[in-house]
Every structure is written in C-alpha cells, then in structure tokens.
Amino acid sequence: MAAIHSRRSWTVPETAATPEGAYLERRRLIQGAGLAALAACLPGRHARAEENDPSADLYPAPRNPAFVLDRDITPEDVNATYNNFYEFGSHKQISDEARRLKTRPWEIAFDGLVEKPFVIAIDELLAAMPLEERLYRHRCVEAWSMTVPWTGFALSRLLERARPLASARYVRFETFHDPDMGRAQRQTWYPWPYVEGLTMAEAANELAFMVTGAYGKPMVNQFGAPLRLAVPWKYGFKSIKSIRRVSFTETRPVSFWEEIAPSEYGFWANVNPSVPHPRWSQETERVLHTHERVPTILFNGYGDQVAHLYAGMEAEQLYM
Ligand SMILES: Nc1nc2c(c(=O)[nH]1)N[C@H]1C(S)=C(S)[C@@H](COP(=O)(O)O)O[C@H]1N2
Ligand SMILES: [Mo]
C-alpha cells in the first residue's frame, strides 16, 4: 500500500515497489536447484495453521453457483504468500509473522446503535451461520488482483443477528489491537486498530460477504482469520481482516487508510478504471499468479449487483 511520500518504500505503488521484486526473487530461489525441498514443504507449513481449528468440520461448504467467475482461481500457495496485513508488517511476505495471530479464543463484540449490545465467540457464530463457498475477484488499490474461493456467510445474515436500530446509517468494523501479537502495531505512527466501514445499504447487499474460510478450509491466518470482510466491488483495503468489533453508527466511520491519507484512500473506494489514484493509473491490474496485465472493470465487474447503490450520489468521491 502506498500512503505518505516521506516514508520509505511503501510510499510507491505496489507495481513499482520492492516487495514484488522480492517476491519474484524468492520464487526464483525456491524454484532453483537445491532448494526444491524448501518449496515442497511450503504448502504444508502454511496449511498447519488450520489443522487444530475447531471449525474444520464445517468445510468444505457447498459452492453457491450464483458466484462463479470467468477467471482462474489464484493458486493457494501464491495467495497465501502475498498478503497485505499491516499488523504483521508493511510488505507482502507476512505469512510467517502472521502465525503469531491467535484465533482462539476469539470474540466479536456488537455495539453502538443496536437493540442490545452483545459479544459472541467465533465458534458459536459459525455454528449459527449457513456456510457457503463463493468465487470472488479481489482488486487491490495497488493494481494487482486475484481470484479466491472464499467460504463464509452473507453480511446480511449477521445484520439480522445484530439487530441494528433504524437510526443506524453505517456499520464500522474494527480489527484487534495487540502489539504483542501483531508486532507491526508497535509502529505507533499508524492509526491502529485497522478500521473499515460501509453504509447500511452496502452492508445489506447480497455481495457483502463475511469470510471464515478459503480454499475449502478454515482460513489461514494471513487471510484475516477467523473472520474477515469481502466487498469485491471495492478496492481491497475495504475488506478488513480479523474482525473483533462491529459497531453501528450514525456518523460515517473514518477508516485506517482514510485517516492516513484522505486524498488517496476514501470511504467509498469503488473500483473504477477511469478514475486514477492520485499517483498511478487504475486502468489495468496485474493478475497475481499469471503476472498478466488485464483491463480493470468498473465495480470490478459487479456493477449489475451494486451500481444502483450509488444512484444520485455523483457529488461523492465514489471511486477512491
Ligand atoms: N486488518 C487488516 N485488514 C486488511 C489489511 C490490513 O493491512 N489489515 N489490508 C487490506 C488490503 S490493502 C488488501 S488488498 C487485502 C489483502 O487481502 P489478502 O492478503 O487476503 O490478499 O486485505 C485488506 N484488509
Ligand atoms: Mo490492497
């Protein structure tokens, strides 16, 4: 991610930044002679996290055929070793560090404008929700993209359970704040914890998905276990990971990236190839596993489902 000009390498777009170079270099190394053994053990190492997961029996969940795609699924090992999760470091290779994320016990608090605030343990929530698999596109604001088989449940189901008041206009999500676990949270210049938000209408949209698993298993830590959001028509930073708190508010929440750089990362952040980021074009995206550049599509291809949410809102900065 890129934010403030005066700060180190993460100030440049992903396509020009060192992490991609480091990633390619690492894959070359792994593929190289003598290191084949390392490559062979990588998937196992990343799979280990979910072995003891108490929800493992819930997977795989049936695939919902309404959410299939025209693109190949990003291979799991590629996706699981190229992540944005700033709590564990401001680069893409955080998967090892993310093993420090302790996903049990894990409670999620519901508060703000609700009939009655409550806290629920993740396994109780999982038992109450009908899990399904959906193939989703994901477009990062840094202009790379991937395709993932997420497992989870519609955010609208969670809203039913939370019982927000009619006065609620926004839903605000908050990640953990624990600098012993997410050691990059010791970087005090970031406005921790990571926060994101949606309007109630966006949250109620069929596409808004609460993710609990990926690739037919409980999610590995680096994907944002045990509960993350997926709003595939918006830039990836809206899809907040490792959610601990869900609040209903009357005023618009200020999200993590909006707080850091409001002229670059807004509240709406809907994907639009014809609205450039202030420092780079959004016309194309790099497909994570093929390295191919392909055109970016308005609302990341989900316009039929979501364009109506923004009718008459031209005065808003809908696309950044
Ligand atoms: N808590 C938290 N959530 C987060 C982030 C983060 O740094 N912290 N990064 C966001 C960004 S910029 C992207 S592109 C996606 C990346 O998801 P992935 O690592 O599963 O590809 O997570 C989003 N959610
Ligand atoms: Mo992103």
Q: 28 pLDDT exceeds 70?
A: no
The answer, yes or no, to whether any atom of ligand 1 lies below 6 A from the CB of 223, is yes
169-216 pLDDT tens trace: 999 999 999 999 999 999 999 999 999 999 999 999 999 999 999 999
> At which residue do the structure tokens 């980021």 appear?
277
Q: 46 pLDDT exceeds 60?
A: no
pLDDT band at residue 246, thresholds of 50, 70 and 90? very high
Global pTM value:
0.87
More confident: 141 or 39: 141
Question: Which pLDDT value is given to residue 83?
Answer: 98
Q: What are phi and psi of 149, to 5 degrees?
A: -85, 95
Find the mean pLDDT for residues 75-98.
Answer: 98
* For the CA of 257, the nearest atom of ligand 1: 12
Question: Which pLDDT value is given to residue 70?
Answer: 85
The answer, yes or no, to whether any atom of ligand 1 lies below 6 A from the CB of 140, is yes
109-157 pLDDT tens trace: 999 999 999 999 999 999 999 999 999 999 999 999 999 999 999 999 9
Rg for the chain (alpha carbons), in Å? 19
The answer, yes or no, to whether any atom of ligand 1 lies below 6 A from the CB of 144, is no
CB 51 within 8 A of CB 221: no
More confident: 19 or 305: 305
Find the mean pLDDT for residues 312-320.
Answer: 96
The 3 state secondary structure assigned to the chain is CCCCCCCCHHHCCCCCCHHHHHHHHHHHHHHCCCCHHHHHHHHHHHHHHHCCCCCHHHCCCCECCCCCCCCCCCCHHHHCCCCCCHHHCCCCCCCCHHHHCCCCCCEEEEEECECCCEEEEHHHHHHHCCCEEEEEEEECCCCEEEEEEEEEEEHHHHHHHHCECCCCCEEEEEECCCCCCCHHHHCCCCCCCCEEEEEHHHHHCCCCEEEEEECCEECCHHHCCCCEEECCCECHHHCCCCEEEEEEECCCCCCHHHHHCCCCCCCCCECCCCCCECCECCCEEEECCCCCEEECCHHHHCHHHHHHHHCCCCCCCCCC
Question: Which pLDDT value is given to residue 221?
Answer: 98
d(CA 26, CA 21): 8
The answer, yes or no, to whether any atom of ligand 1 lies below 6 A from the CB of 255, is no
* pLDDT, the chain, mean: 88
Dig out the tokens for 191 from the structure: 């406005």
Q: 9 pLDDT exceeds 70?
A: no
The answer, yes or no, to whether any atom of ligand 1 lies below 6 A from the CB of 98, is no
More confident: 295 or 14: 295
Q: What is the dihedral of CA 212, 256, 171, 83, to 10 degrees?
A: -20
Question: Which pLDDT value is given to residue 52?
Answer: 78
Q: Which of 10, 78, 241 to mutate to test the pocket of ligand 1 (most atoms within 8 A of CB)?
A: 241
Q: 57 pLDDT exceeds 90?
A: yes
* For the CA of 86, the nearest atom of ligand 1: 7
Find the mean pLDDT for residues 226-246.
Answer: 99
Dig out the tokens for 168 from the structure: 């609620």
Find the mean pLDDT for residues 3-8.
Answer: 37
pLDDT band at residue 1, thresholds of 50, 70 and 90? low
